[in-house]
């Protein structure tokens, strides 16, 4: 199936193009900058088209992934070019405007599905992510898209455009506004954030990381989210009034009113125990990784870069607050701890099998006649460092003594030293190496 991503060269549009390409869809991306569009298309292995209308006319599915303020223009531009039986989607952060505009403009025989992926382009997988769908009608394409998302283990929420935008005024508008305000305040106070972490509780560090994630995003997108949602002013006004009310309570030392406001807010947040449990888990996960790394100094570890996916395997030499030193072969490399994840033993072993050269050795030994070659092969294969064991031959007869049986195994390993362990175990079975 051919899919057009209008605006598929940057941000979420590019991520969608890459992801759908990995799922074997034929992808076309568009961009106003032909040189840049051609470059990105070549990098991710998709087709580039300089004309939005032409791209839309050629594809079964058209996904609009342009900034919110340009979405209306693009919908109007491509709507007449959509062919019968096709689907048009948008992935913007507001849903009322594009939903009803698509309903008004598309011709008979074309379906539309307003969509809001609740994630950014830094994620590596759709699994566990939330995607909001706001269909005005549930057509055949709705079922196909829903099935695809659920197969990818996405948490799908189906709602109305109005409900979506009202909720986004809190989930995005209010939270982003508060986080950006805190980050800007810290800057105005001239606080050294790195130094402040030394004095902080884990929850402060978690909060700073969350704020950093928001303010590191595209500021133009953040501005659009604040200005394009029709319920945004109401949310910000309520926030600003609340801040002023709390400040007034503190200025006049009205303890009762401050306590009442905080207690009421806590009660309104509902299941506090569950929230505390989730935040405890998040803090524990952050600490656990450091504990594992500290215990691994001087040992072999496998580390994967969470953005590039590149795996580094080597001896962990040292650990600093923000970086670690890893010896890989003759090289020492410095890695930023916040950008890596630790591979478990199975993940590290699988990576080695798929990426390092293996060797095969044949071993023949004479066993008592009652020995079972399949059992022996299975036991040998269970040794650490053994990739595979094959039975090449079993033989009875001259020159093998009566009551004995010769077995030949092909042992596949990554390291030659593992063969010594195999030979030792074979001798433990009462066998004699030939």
Q: What is the pLDDT of residues 262-291, one digit of tens each?
A: 999 988 887 778 878 888 887 777 778 888
115 CB-near residues (< 8 Å, 6+ apart): 89, 90, 91, 131, 132, 133, 134, 145
Q: For position 122, what pLDDT does the model report?
A: 82
Residue 191, both tokens: 């606080």
Is residue 282, in this structure, part of any structural domain at all?
Answer: no
Q: For position 307, what pLDDT does the model report?
A: 81
Of 106, 134, 159, which residue constitutes the final position of a domain? 159
Q: For position 92, what pLDDT does the model report?
A: 95
Same domain, 117 and 170: no
Question: Would you call 336 helix, strand, or coil by DSSP?
Answer: strand
**Looking at per-residue confidence, does 321 or 222 come out higher?**
222
Mean pLDDT of 320-341: 90
Of 268, 283, 302, which residue constitutes the final position of a domain? 268
What is the band of 52 on the pLDDT scale with cuts at 50, 70, 90?
very high
What domain range includes position 308?
A: 291-353
The CATH number linked to 304 is 2.30.30.100
Is residue 283, in this structure, part of any structural domain at all?
Answer: no
Burial code (b: 16+ CB inside 10 Å, e: under 16) for 112-143 equals: bbbbbbeeebeeeebeebebbbbbeeeeebbe
Same domain, 146 and 222: no
Q: pLDDT digit string (tens) for 166-209?
A: 999 999 999 999 999 999 999 999 999 989 988 878 888 889 98
Q: How far apart are CA 289 and CA 216, in angstroms?
A: 24
Is residue 427, in this structure, part of any structural domain at all?
Answer: yes
> Does residue 98 have a pLDDT over 90?
yes
Mean pLDDT of 344-372: 92
The CATH number linked to 218 is 1.10.3660
Q: For position 367, what pLDDT does the model report?
A: 94
Of 268, 301, 330, which residue constitutes the final position of a domain? 268
Q: For position 285, what pLDDT does the model report?
A: 75
Q: pLDDT exceeding 90 applies to what percent of the chain?
A: 78
Mean pLDDT of 127-144: 94
Same domain, 100 and 201: no
């Amino acid at each position: 199936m051919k899919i057009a991503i209008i605006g598929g060269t940057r941000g979420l549009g590019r991520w969608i193009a890459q992801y759908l390409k990995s799922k074997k869809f034929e992808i076309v991306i568009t961009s106003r900058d032909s040189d840049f569009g051609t470059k990105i298309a070549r990098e991710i292995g998709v087709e580039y088209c300089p004309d939005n209308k032409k791209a839309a006319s050629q594809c079964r599915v058209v996904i609009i992934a342009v900034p919110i303020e340009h979405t209306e223009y693009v919908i109007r531009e491509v709507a007449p070019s959509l062919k019968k039986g096709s689907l048009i989607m948008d992935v913007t952060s507001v849903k009322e405007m594009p939903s009803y505009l698509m309903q008004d403009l598309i011709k008979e025989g074309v379906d539309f599905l307003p969509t809001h992926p609740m994630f950014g382009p830094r994620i590596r997988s759709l699994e566990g992510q939330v995607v909001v769908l706001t269909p005005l009608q549930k057509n055949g394409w709705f079922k196909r898209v829903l099935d695809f998302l659920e197969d990818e283990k996405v948490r799908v929420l189906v709602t109305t455009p109005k409900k979506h935008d009202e909720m986004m005024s809190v989930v995005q508008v209010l939270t982003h506004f508060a986080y950006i305000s805190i980050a800007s305040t810290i800057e105005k106070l001239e606080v050294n954030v790195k130094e402040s972490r030394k004095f902080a509780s884990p929850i402060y560090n978690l909060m700073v990381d969350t704020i950093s994630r928001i303010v590191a995003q595209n500021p133009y997108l953040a501005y659009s989210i604040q200005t394009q949602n029709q319920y945004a002013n109401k949310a910000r006004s309520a926030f600003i009034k609340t801040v002023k009310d709390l400040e007034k309570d503190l200025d006049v030392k009205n303890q009762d009113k401050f306590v009442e406001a905080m207690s009421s807010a806590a009660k309104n947040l509902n299941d506090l125990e569950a929230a505390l449990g989730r935040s405890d888990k998040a803090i524990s996960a952050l600490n656990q990784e450091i504990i594992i790394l500290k215990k691994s100094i001087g040992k072999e570890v496998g580390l994967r870069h969470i953005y590039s996916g590149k795996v580094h395997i080597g001896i962990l030499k040292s650990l600093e607050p923000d970086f670690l030193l890893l010896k890989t072969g003759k090289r020492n490399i410095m890695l930023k701890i916040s950008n890596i994840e630790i591979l478990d033993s199975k993940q590290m072993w699988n990576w080695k099998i798929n990426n390092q050269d293996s060797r095969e050795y044949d071993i023949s030994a004479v066993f008592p006649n009652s020995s079972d070659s399949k059992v022996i092969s299975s036991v040998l294969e269970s040794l650490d460092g053994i990739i595979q064991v094959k039975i090449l031959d079993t033989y009875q007869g001259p020159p093998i003594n009566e009551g004995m049986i010769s077995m030949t195994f092909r042992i596949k390993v990554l390291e030659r030293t593992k063969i010594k362990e195999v030979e030792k175990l074979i001798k433990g079975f009462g066998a004699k190496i030939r």
